[in-house]
Structure 1
């Protein structure tokens, strides 16, 4: 019996696909940890010198629609709370959506953003978009809760 090209392709592809599927959860965890650490460290920096943070929001960051003091508190709170949720994968899509807003506002609020900084924001945004679309993955509190709360089949 002769094996067709399609069958040969499937024989190669199916094991590779199984490996790729097995790597999804650790890749999503890595993305959550990376993006979460970026934003959390930024929030800690703002807390360390609140006077400078307020000055930056008054003079440098031009957050639309919010007074500088409110924008500073909201931005810092988002940068400290949402990454914790994201890393845990607890309300993971909510955390990814919230950090996406923080990321976009940060990128557009700087009048003279350097090309390298803009590229970083685009990279973080792409990881957040993937987490928003596909969820935090199998290694998350969300997935654990889903398994725990769903009836056995």
Structure 2
């Protein structure tokens, strides 16, 4: 009796549409980076100061790092939200997440792990059918469907 009930619950969960999960993951990750980028854009001098005094990245000069970080934090989430070049757009955010984790705020690993997991999900599963990528894939050769994230 109990195993039948558990089986019914599992069967119900198994039909949850992956396309909805793909859309929700895209929507969920956008504000994390968008808010940070927008904050930098509103006060670029303060952002440069943060890169100079607090973040202290070893390779890039603070001004360049602030402008590049702002561009990535605004452009990539916008692409992910609409589902355009989605898989490609996850890559700089994954790199940014790893940089933040290992060079800036290592104690914030629970947040960074969550961001990383969502981004890797989007990277490996694609944006789903509710995306510009899927629309483009529907008008291209089948071999390009995997690039755009046509559902499997």
TM-score of the aligned structures, taking structure 1 as reference length: 0.80
1:12/1:148 CA distance change after superposition, 3 Å: farther
Q: Does 1:130 align with 2:124?
A: no
Q: Which residue in 2 is equivalent to 1:3?
A: none
- The question of 1:96 aligning with 2:87 is answered no
Matches within 5 A, 1:4-153: 16=12, 19-20=15-16, 23-110=17-104, 113=105, 115=107, 117-150=108-141
Shift of the 57–141 alpha-carbon distance from structure 1 to 2, 3 Å rule, reads same
Structure number with greater CO (CA < 8 Å, separation at least 6) is 1
Please list every run of 5 or more consecutive structure 2 residues that lacks an aligned counterpart in the other structure.
Answer: 143-152
Larger radius of gyration: 1
Deviations 1:112-133 (Å, cap 9, x if unpaired)? x373x32111100010011111
CA deviations 1:93-143 (Å, max 9, x no partner) are 001112111111122231xx373x321111000100111111111211111
Q: CA RMSD in A?
A: 2.2
| Deviation, structure 1 residue 12 | 5.6
- 2:25 and 2:82 map into 1 onto residues whose CA distance is 12
Whole-Å separation in 2 of the counterparts to 1:123 and 1:83: 16
Instruction: Give structure 1 stretches of 5+ with no counterpart.
Output: 1-7
Runs of 4+ aligned structure 1 residues displaced above 6 Å come to: none
Q: What number of residue pairs does the alignment pair up?
A: 137
What is the CA–CA distance in structure 1 between the aligned matches of 2:47 and 2:35, rounded to whole Å?
14
Q: Name the TM-score, length of structure 2 as normaliser.
A: 0.80
Distance 1:81 1:126 in 2: 20
